[in-house]
Amino acid sequence: MSIKIKTQLGVIDVAREVVAVIAGGAAIDCYGIVGMASQKQLKDGLTELLGKENFTRGVVIREEDDEIHIDMYIIVSYGTKISEVAHNVQTKVKYQLEQMLGLTVDSVNIFVQGVKVINP
């Protein structure tokens, strides 16, 4: 499946994986984010064993009536204010998708799946 962006010159098809990679990369750059969480434990476990970074993990793209909704499952660092981290992720993901693809995102829903203590 792909997301269609209509322009004056025609239609651009952007794969959902591309949107997920951009959103995941933007989220990882935010302060207070330790990583992304996922429901596909076996597949993610193998990815981690191979040492391959996967920005699409924990990102779900939904289209409903020409609206784009992004669900992100994150793990935050212990000692950070969760509401601020979530707001920063929402803002940065919307901004990055607007700047890189010209894509208007209607909502970015953040689901905090865990808190991790990071040893200095």
Residue pLDDT, tens place only, 51-87: 446 778 889 999 888 889 999 998 899 999 999 999 9
Q: Is the dihedral of CA 69, 111, 44, 27 positive or negative?
A: positive
Domain harbouring 11, CATH code:
3.30.70.1350
pLDDT of residue 45: 56
Identify whether the C-beta of residue 72 lies closer than 8 Å to the C-beta of residue 109. Answer: yes
Per-residue pLDDT averaged across 37-49, rounded?
56
pLDDT of residue 31: 92
Global pTM value: 0.82
Higher pLDDT, 89 or 117: 89
- The enclosing H or E element of 14 equals strand 11-15
The tally of domains found in the chain comes to 1
- Kindly give the residue spans of alpha helices, DSSP state H, lying in 29-111: 41-50, 82-101
> To the nearest whole number, what is the mean pLDDT of the chain?
84
**Domain region containing 90:** 2-116
Per-residue pLDDT averaged across 21-50, rounded?
74
Banded pLDDT at 6 (limits 50, 70, 90): confident
